Chains A and B, each alone.
Chain A
Amino acid sequence: MFDPNRTAHLAELSKLEFTDEELLKMTKDMTDIIALMDKVCDFNPEIKPYTLDSVDYDDLRGDTYKESYPNSEILKNAKNTKNDSFVVPKVV
Chain B
Amino acid sequence: MTLRDLRYKLDKKEIGAVELTQEYLQKIKERDGVIKSYITVCQDGAIAQAKAAQTVIDAGNSKPLTGIPLSVKDNICTEGVRTTCASRMLEDFVPPYNATAIEKLNAENYVMLGKTNMDEFAMGGSSQTSYFGGPKNPYSIDRVTGGSSGGAAAAVAAGFCAAALGSDTGGSVRQPSAFCGVTGLKPTYGAVSRWGLIAFASSLDQIGVVANNAFDTGYILNTIHGYDENDATSSAAAKGGYTKLVGSDISKLRIGVPKEFLDGSSDEVKAAVLKAADFYKSLGCEIIECSLPSLEYAVSAYYLISSAEAASNLSRFDGIKYGSRSGLGEDFNELIKNSRREGFGDEVKRRIMLGNYALCSGYYDAYYNNARRIRTQIRKEYAAIFEKCDVILTPTAPTTAYKIGCQENDPVKMYLADICTVTVNIAGLPAISTTCGYDLDGMPIGMSLTGKAFDERTIIAVCDRFEKDFERKECMR
How many residues of chain B are within 8 Å of chain A by beta carbon?
Answer: 67
Q: Does B341 contact A (CB under 8 A)?
A: yes
Known: A36-B415, A86-B321. A14 touches B352 (CB 8 A): yes
**In chain A, residues 33-92, which have Cβ atoms closer than 8 Å to a Cβ of chain B?**
33-41, 43-45, 47-52, 54-55, 60-61, 69, 73-74, 76-80, 86, 88-91
Interface 1/0s, chain B 364-404, versus A by CB < 8 A?
00110111111111010000000000000000000000000
* Residues of A in contact with B, size category: 35 or more
Q: Does B336 contact A (CB under 8 A)?
A: yes
Q: Is the CB of B353 within 8 A of A16?
A: yes
B367 proximity list for chain A (CB < 8 A)? 37, 40-41
The CA-CA distance from A76 to B357 in the complex, in Å, is 34
Q: Is the CB of A44 within 8 A of B352?
A: no
B182 CB, min distance to chain A CBs, angstroms:
29
Q: Does B239 contact A (CB under 8 A)?
A: no
Q: Is the CB of B376 within 8 A of A33?
A: no
A48 proximity list for chain B (CB < 8 A)? 373, 376
B30 CB, min distance to chain A CBs, angstroms:
33
B233 proximity list for chain A (CB < 8 A)? 52, 54-55
Please give me the residue from chain B that is nearest to A42 by CB atom.
B370
Q: Is the CB of A55 within 8 A of B232?
A: yes
Q: Does A1 contact B (CB under 8 A)?
A: no
Q: Does B8 contact A (CB under 8 A)?
A: no
Please give me the residue from chain B that is nearest to A13 by CB atom.
B356
Known: A10-B356, A30-B357, A80-B325. A37 touches B303 (CB 8 A): yes
The CA-CA distance from A91 to B331 in the complex, in Å, is 7
Q: Is the CB of B373 within 8 A of A45?
A: yes
Please give me the residue from chain B that is nearest to A56 by CB atom.
B232
Q: Is the CB of A29 within 8 A of B96?
A: no
Q: Is the CB of A88 within 8 A of B332?
A: yes
Please give me the residue from chain B that is nearest to A7 by CB atom.
B353
The CA-CA distance from A74 to B97 in the complex, in Å, is 10
Cross-chain contact of A16 among B297, B341, B357 (Cβ < 8 A) = B341
A35 proximity list for chain B (CB < 8 A)? 412
Q: Is the CB of A47 within 8 A of B377?
A: yes
Q: Is the CB of A89 within 8 A of B412?
A: no
Q: Is the CB of A86 within 8 A of B341?
A: no
Q: Is the CB of B358 within 8 A of A33?
A: no
Q: Does B428 contact A (CB under 8 A)?
A: yes
Known: A36-B300, A44-B377, A49-B372. A89 touches B332 (CB 8 A): yes
Q: Does A24 contact B (CB under 8 A)?
A: no
Q: Is the CB of A15 within 8 A of B332?
A: no
A41 proximity list for chain B (CB < 8 A)? 366-367, 370
Q: Does B349 contact A (CB under 8 A)?
A: yes
Q: Does A17 contact B (CB under 8 A)?
A: yes
Please give me the residue from chain A that is nearest to B315 by CB atom.
A15
Q: Is the CB of A17 within 8 A of B341?
A: yes
Per DSSP, are chain A's interface residues mostly helix, strand or loop, or mixed? Answer: loop
The CA-CA distance from A39 to B299 in the complex, in Å, is 9
A76 proximity list for chain B (CB < 8 A)? 94, 96
The CA-CA distance from A10 to B352 in the complex, in Å, is 10
Q: Is the CB of B300 within 8 A of A52?
A: no
B23 CB, min distance to chain A CBs, angstroms:
34
Interface 1/0s, chain B 314-343, versus A by CB < 8 A?
010011111011000111111111101100
**In chain A, residues 1-35, which have Cβ atoms closer than 8 Å to a Cβ of chain B?**
7, 10-11, 13-18, 26, 29-30, 32-35
Please give me the residue from chain A that is nearest to B358 by CB atom.
A37
Q: Does B301 contact A (CB under 8 A)?
A: yes
B201 CB, min distance to chain A CBs, angstroms:
12
A16 proximity list for chain B (CB < 8 A)? 337, 340-341, 344, 349, 352-353
Q: Is the CB of A37 within 8 A of B300?
A: yes
Most buried by B among A7, A14, A37, A89: A37
Q: Is the CB of B96 within 8 A of A69?
A: yes
The CA-CA distance from A6 to B318 in the complex, in Å, is 23
Cross-chain contact of A40 among B189, B301, B333, B428 (Cβ < 8 A) = B301
Q: Is the CB of A50 within 8 A of B375?
A: yes
B311 proximity list for chain A (CB < 8 A)? 14
Cross-chain contact of A33 among B94, B96, B352, B412 (Cβ < 8 A) = B412
A15 proximity list for chain B (CB < 8 A)? 315, 318, 333, 336-337, 340
Cross-chain contact of B337 among A17, A78, A80 (Cβ < 8 A) = A17
**In chain B, residues 407-435, which have Cβ atoms closer than 8 Å to a Cβ of chain A?**
411-412, 415-416, 428
B324 proximity list for chain A (CB < 8 A)? 79
B372 CB, min distance to chain A CBs, angstroms:
3
Q: Is the CB of B329 within 8 A of A29?
A: no
Nearest first, the 4 A-B pairs at minimum CB distance are: A49-B372, A50-B375, A79-B325, A40-B370
Q: Beyond A50-B375, A74-B96: 13 further Cβ-contacts under 8 Å?
A: A10-B356, A11-B353, A16-B340, A17-B340, A26-B353, A29-B350, A33-B415, A36-B299, A45-B370, A50-B372, A88-B332, A89-B330, A89-B335
Could you write out 12 A-B pairs with CB less than 8 Å apart?
A13-B360, A15-B318, A15-B333, A15-B340, A35-B412, A36-B416, A37-B354, A43-B297, A47-B377, A49-B372, A78-B321, A89-B335
